[in-house]
Structure 1
Amino acid sequence: MDNTGRVAAADAATLPPAGAGTDAAIAEVEEQFTRLFNQVGTSMRERASRIHPDLQPVGYKLLSTIVRSGPIHAGALAAMLYTDKSVISRQVKILEDMGFVERKADPADRRASFLAATPEAIERVNEVRAADQANLYRSLRRWGEDDVRRLAELLERLNEVAR
């Protein structure tokens, strides 16, 4: 048994027993997450290509995070995205070569630098984000306020459990 199996077995031992109906519902949630993650992957590829035809999804994720956060240290970016700093370094080099990211000296520590999005990157990312946001709003407005609030509450609970 691998470590994943041991962890799952240990977790299962501490949980209250679930009925077949609960397990079936959980399996359906898992299936819906799989579908959602596949759609998100496709969406990330499309977003990246709208920024630049050679931009990979991971590069888009970094770039959009830098745009959203403002200038940021590479280590903080790695922590924010739960990824290795070497991945950040490789992707930042690509983004610099594309003209989307620049390094700025940290005035508090001249040995360190901030990663900052260029004005062109900010404009492109904001255009892509605005179009995607418009689609999300258009879709969720069909649900009604109570359903949208319930979705937000459930997602918040899920995010709290995932920590």
Structure 2
Amino acid sequence: MAGTGDDDIDEKLLVALQRLGRLMSSRQVASDISGAAGVELSQQGVQLLRALHRSGEAPVAALASASQMDIGAVSRQLRLLEDAGLVTRSSSPADRRVVLVDTTDSGARVAARIRDVGLRHLTESLSGWSATDRRRVADLLARLVTDLQRTDIRAADE
């Protein structure tokens, strides 16, 4: 029923999540983070290095999925990261058709700096929050992401 308290809460949550999504995918934020890490990388380059830092060596398709990018965009960005000496590509020994991507030593250091800058920013942003509140938000956000991924998106008139 429209106008109920639950509807108002859901709308407020949706707006907050949209704002968070825009903030986290902002080119300006990515630029600020890479600048603070001492490198000049595009938003997509930052995403790929972050994904590789978390996963280690990965097939291009898995990297695209992990960074929420299409294969074409990943390939273009990998070329730039390769030219900068931050990643390498090789064929999988198990299946020569599969291209594996990994960070170079320099790329791993850059990825670690990017992670450290992002983590420091988050830590400073949450400095007034209790450990209990930080833990609760982390747990609830993880649960929310899992539930959103599991739930089918339906048309508005269903």
Aligned length: 146
Range 92-101 or range 82-91, more displaced: 82-91
Aligned to 1:37: 21
**How do 1:57-76 and structure 2 match up within 5 A?**
57-76=43-62
Choose from 76, 84, 90 the match for 1:98.
Answer: 84
Q: Is the 8 A contact 1:48 1:59 kept in 2?
A: no
Q: TM-score, normalised by structure 1?
A: 0.76
Query: Helix, strand or coil: the match of 1:134?
Result: helix
State the identity %: 31
1:92-135 alpha-carbon deviations (Å, 9 max, x no partner): 11111121111123222334331111111111121221132123
Tell me which structure has the larger Cα radius of gyration: 1
Greater helix proportion: 1
The 1:18/1:151 distance shift into structure 2, 3 A limit, reads farther
Give structure 2 stretches of 5+ with no counterpart: 150-158
Q: TM-score, normalised by structure 2?
A: 0.78
Query: Helix, strand or coil: the match of 1:110?
Result: coil
The 1:75/1:33 distance shift into structure 2, 3 A limit, reads same
Query: Helix, strand or coil: the match of 2:58?
Result: coil
- Cα distance between partner residues in 1 of 2:11 and 2:147: 17
- Cα distance between partner residues in 1 of 2:63 and 2:13: 30
Give structure 1 stretches of 5+ with no counterpart: 1-16
